[in-house]
Amino acid sequence: MPILNTMRVAISTGIFVLTGALVAEPEFLSVADFGAVPNDGNDDLAAVQKCLEVATGAQKACLVPEGNYLFSGDLWLGSNAILFGEGKKSVLTFSKGKIRALKNGSRHFYYTRNYNNERIAGKVKRGVLAEAVRKGDTSFLVENDDGFAVGDWIFISNNRKDTWTILEKKSKGQDTPAHLNGSRDVLVKAQIARITEIEENRITIDRELDSDYVAEAVIGDHVGARNIRIHDLSIINHSGKGHAIVFEQPFNAHFRGLTIETTEGAGGIRLVHYAFRCTIEKCDITNSGQYAITISNFSSENVVEGNDITFVEGGDCAILVMMYSKNNVVSENSVDCLSTAAKNDGGIYIHATSFGNRVLNNEIKGASSAIGAFYGANNNVFKGNTGSNPNTGISLWYAGGSNVFEDNDFRFGDTRRPGRHIGVYAYCSQTSVVEENLFSGKLDVGCLAGPKANCSIKNTKPNAYTITSTGLGFEGGISLNRNTFKSVTETFAEYRLE
């Protein structure tokens, strides 16, 4: 049955099942019933917001029928909200604002120092560690217990504020191993867990701590909106900054079948500050500047899968996982980078002490660097990715240790941008494994290692090299095993030191 006919049946029956939707939707309310009129040039924000609030309260979905609806500010969704439409025929056009999620049921929240010292309206639970705890612990003593209960989802944070200063400045010559390893309590770190037992002021959680935490580290309840679904809509954002969708501290949010177009420097979807178990799938995103998809700031167990991204011009990279985010999966995405800039137009990056993430079976075209680990990112796996016409296939830039790049295939040819074609670029990074990758086509350098005059390369066995970097105050290395460099460039160098 055509989608339009399905819609007409749905309106008459009160039940809507859209072919290809995330799930068969429950009963719904239409924004048309609240005064939203498409294609009339008038602002529809108030009508759509009202429909969302009433529908969510009634445990129903909010339907946006075919047409173009205009928005002059933020559209807010609370827990259990469902916003959906008729695919590309249902268009939300923002001249200002974006789609956002409530936190603690409120629109009023902010951070005094970018990612810490959170301020939220309403009652929240807070406490601090009574004593230091070790990596692997599953229980801890809490002071100032503020009413935590069994079943609560909480976060634990050391609330450090200087991480960017350390990573981007102090790492260049100042005690780099400790900073990149996170072996000292100087970098921000945090994680999410569920309380399984409380005995007096001792809390037991459902998982091991993934790091040491000092006494007085902050404990707080996870108060982001939960169980939100947004699917089968077209979103056009002309706001000129930020992202089309920004959710802070979301829990189990699902985005599917969205067509997103941003202009004038805006990005696509940003999930930030303890985003947990969210999914972004089968979306078509075209953006100019910023990131198409960002998972950041202590976010974990999220999935970014099967999306098509057209990255019109630079904003660092198309898909970014950053700031101590862990155990996320980025897979089966297609990224096409269109800029002619020499840098800052990458494919998929893991950044800023993030770990345990998997970047699998993605296709990246035309990037300044297809995939990479940056500034303390460690213990991540990049496997089965393919790319055409990048400037650099794999980048490690001040990366932490134990990243694995395996079975990736990059084909080099004519690019839109200036610069050399490099298979692997490793700069001031700790020991990681680059193994059984294929680099072919118009390569200038197979592997480029820096910094200048402070690197050594050892031929440990045929076609296996260990590059050791001893510059800028630390020692690290990249093990290259069984990689294949095939170049049609006459001046090709299999490896080079700078």
Q: For residue range 231-256, what is the model confidence (pLDDT) as tens digits?
A: 999 999 988 778 999 999 999 999 99
Q: Are residues 205 and 345 in the same domain?
A: no
Q: Mean pLDDT over residues 267-291, rounded?
A: 93
**Which tokens go with 118?**
């959170």
Residue with tokens 């985005």: 255
CA–CA dist 405, 481 (Å, integer): 10
Smallest Cα–Cα separation from 268: which of 249, 248, 285? Answer: 285
Q: What residues contact 300, with CB distance under 8 A and at least 6 apart?
A: 191, 192, 274, 275, 276, 325, 326, 327, 328
Question: Does 303 reside within a domain?
Answer: no
**Does 460 have pLDDT greater than 70?**
no
Please give the order of strands across the beta sheet that includes 484-487. Answer: 67-71, 90-94, 234-237, 259-262, 284-288, 308-313, 334-337, 363-365, 386-388, 409-412, 438-441, 484-487
* Per-residue pLDDT reduced to its tens digit, 331-377: 999 999 988 877 778 999 999 889 999 999 999 999 999 999 998 89
DSSP string over 151-207: T-EEEEE-----HHHIIIIITTTSSHHHHHHT-STTS--EEEEEEEEEETTEEEESS
| Residue 26, domain member (yes or no) | no
Q: pLDDT at position 145, please?
A: 66
What pLDDT is recorded for position 224? 94
Q: Does the residue 496 lie in any domain?
A: yes
Percent of the chain, pLDDT > 90?
Answer: 58
DSSP state of 3: H
- Residue 368 in any domain: the answer is yes
- Judged by average pLDDT, the poorest of 392-401, 433-442, 445-454 is 445-454
Residue 142 pLDDT level (bands cut at 50, 70, 90): very high
pLDDT at 293 exceeding the cut of 90? yes
Choose the final residue of a domain: 192, 221, 250.
Answer: 221
Render pLDDT for 297-320 as a digit per residue (tens, 0 to 9).
999 999 999 999 999 876 789 999
Which residue shows structure tokens 């960002």?
Answer: 294
Kindly state whether residues 214 and 356 are assigned to the same domain: no
- Across the chain, mean pLDDT equals 84
Query: Most confidently modeled of 1-15, 61-75, 122-136?
Result: 61-75
User: Which structural domain range is residue 168 located in?
Assistant: 125-221
Backbone angles phi, psi at 401, to 5 degrees: -90, 170
Local confidence band at 464 (pLDDT 50, 70, 90 cut-offs): very low
59: exposed, middle or buried (Cβ count in 10 Å: 0-12, 13-18, 19+): exposed
Q: Does residue 390 fall inside a structural domain?
A: yes
Same domain for 355 and 495?
Answer: yes
d(CA 201, CA 385): 47
Q: What is the reported pLDDT for 179? A: 44
pLDDT at 11: 41
**Boundary of a domain, candidates 221, 250, 273:** 221
Same domain, 346 and 486: yes
Task: Work out the pLDDT band at 159, boundaries 50, 70, 90.
Answer: confident
Q: Are 31 and 61 in contact, with CB atoms under 8 Å apart?
A: no
Report the pLDDT value the prediction gives residue 14, as an integer from 0 to 100.
42
Q: Are residues 491 and 360 in the same domain?
A: yes
Q: How far apart are CA 239 and CA 244, in angstroms?
A: 8
d(CA 90, CA 228): 19
How would residue 467 be classed by pLDDT, with cut points 50, 70 and 90? Answer: low
Task: Give the mean model confidence (pLDDT) for residues 74-91.
Answer: 96
Sheet containing 369-374: order of strands: 75-77, 99-101, 243-248, 267-272, 293-296, 316-322, 345-351, 369-374, 392-397, 422-427, 445-450, 493-497
Write the burial class of residue 24 (CB in 10 Å: 0-12 exposed, 13-18 middle, 19+ buried): exposed
Residue 144 lies in a domain: yes
Would strands 109-111 and 118-120 be described as parallel, antiparallel, or unpaired?
A: antiparallel
Q: Which of the listed residues 164, 189, 221 is the one where a domain comes to its end?
A: 221
Digit-coded pLDDT (tens) for 3-46:
333 343 344 334 444 444 434 467 899 999 999 999 999 999 99
Query: Would residue 416 count as lying in a domain?
Result: yes
d(CA 244, CA 165): 28
- Read off the pLDDT of each residue in 168-177 and give the average, rounded to a whole number: 50
Kind plus residue range of the DSSP H or E element containing 485: strand 484-487
Q: Indicate whether 490 belongs to any domain.
A: yes
pLDDT reading at 175 higher than 60: no
CA pair distance 59, 71, nearest whole angstrom? 24
What's the total number of domains in the chain?
2
